[in-house]
Amino acid sequence: KTAIIIDTDPGQDDAVAILTALGSSRLEVVGISVVAGNVPLELTAKNVRIICEWAGRPEVPVHAGCERPLLRPLVTAEHVHGKTGLDGVPLHEPAMPLQQEHAVDFIIRTLRERERGTVTLCMLGPLTNLAMAIVRAPDIVGRIREIVLMGGAYFEGGNITPSAEFNIYVDPHAAATVLACGAAAITMLPLDVTHKATASLARIGLLRALPNRAGNLAADIMTTLERFDVQRYGADGAPLHDPTVIAYVLQPELFSGRKVYVAVEQNSELTLGATPVDWWGITGKPANVNYLTTVDSDGFFRLLADNLSTLP
């Protein structure tokens, strides 16, 4: 089994990603660290616990993390995910507790306790928690197996400003810290690939046809997302951004990309959070990122359906 920590800000597509991970027999979800992003921390921390309970997994340790980005005020995305962060499905009051330990401490402790090179970090939101952990305990960097993050945009343009993708824009300083940390493997799933991982109404129908509740919940969430994104982008279905992270960990051969140098714009008002990619090696700087641009979207969706089908 691959040991993973999921760091997340649910978030409708985060919810589908977490359910997919919890449904996989090939992943050990060591714990979930929560960050402010799509909605404030109080709601994201509650939503993660609701999602674990949907999956029948109330024993998964859930750790609340940073309430705001390193330097900037929090920017949220209720216009996409709704006031609760999980529009489109009925929400209950979760019974499972939050852990006492802060998410940043949890990340550091886990990486130090586990054997070096065995824990993969699945980053589904702004990168605040991981940046804090790296600054506080730089020794953890060499212990990480891989950082797989949903964030950034280059060929596609941005989704929160014309030049920036939401997760990077919300905490560009954290993103810059993570991309420059020197970890042996950082894989990035930018909008350039997630805009190809779409849930069309036909694909959503496959999930709705699953005999379990999780399939239906995922279908309901995707239907709400579909309405927003199809209106905005005129695409054939809504991009399932965050589930691509879990899919990559489970089946990397569904994706392709290039090892490149990527940095984060931290100063300009106009292009804050932009992630210019040195696609042609112009800077001569060594590659720091495996930057993915293509996905086998049918295979991706089959993987989601297979893993979701094992849940209650």
Could you list the active site residues?
241
Between strands 62-64 and 27-34, the pairing is parallel
For ligand BDR, the binding residue among 226, 242, 265, 278 (CB under 6 A) is 242
For Ca ion, the binding residue among 5, 103, 124, 134 (CB under 5 A) is 124
The stretch near ligand BDR (CB under 6 A) out of 127-135, 164-172, 247-255, 273-281 is 164-172
- Of 40, 32, 107, the C-alpha closest to 74 is 40
To the nearest 10 degrees (0 to 180), the angle between helices 172-179 and 128-136 is 50
Q: Pick between residue 143 and residue 241 the one whose CB is nearest to ligand BDR.
A: 241
Q: Pick between residue 11 and residue 239 the one whose CB is nearest to Ca ion.
A: 11
Separation CA 28–CA 1 (nearest Å): 6
148 is a site residue for ligand BDR (CB under 6 A)? no
Q: How far is the CB of 150 from ligand BDR (least distance, A)?
A: 5
Please spell the DSSP secondary structure of 190-229, one letter per residue: -HHHHTTSEE-HHHHHHHHTSSSHHHHHHHHHHHHHHHHH
143 by DSSP, 3-state: which? helix
CA 247 to chain centroid, in Å, comes to: 11
> Which amino acid type is present at position 5?
I
Between strands 198-199 and 238-239, the pairing is antiparallel
124 is a site residue for ligand BDR (CB under 6 A)? yes
| Alpha carbon separation from 58 to 52, 97, 105, 132 (Å, rounded) | 6, 9, 21, 27
74 binds, among Ca ion, ligand BDR, none (CB under 5 to 8 A by kind): none
Between strands 119-123 and 144-150, the pairing is parallel
For ligand BDR, the binding residue among 80, 193, 225, 292 (CB under 6 A) is 80
The stretch near ligand BDR (CB under 6 A) out of 9-17, 112-120, 130-138, 272-280 is 9-17
11 is a site residue for Ca ion (CB under 5 A)? yes
**Number of residues in contact with ligand BDR under rule CB under 6 A:** 15
How many other C-beta atoms can be found within 10 angstroms of the C-beta atom of residue 7?
30
For ligand BDR, the binding residue among 54, 106, 154, 166 (CB under 6 A) is 166
The stretch near ligand BDR (CB under 6 A) out of 26-34, 163-171, 255-263, 300-308 is 163-171
300 is a site residue for ligand BDR (CB under 6 A)? no
For ligand BDR, the binding residue among 33, 167, 177, 275 (CB under 6 A) is 167
11 is a site residue for ligand BDR (CB under 6 A)? yes
Q: Which residues bind ligand BDR (CB under 6 A)?
A: 11, 13-14, 38, 77, 80, 124-125, 150, 159, 165-167, 241-242
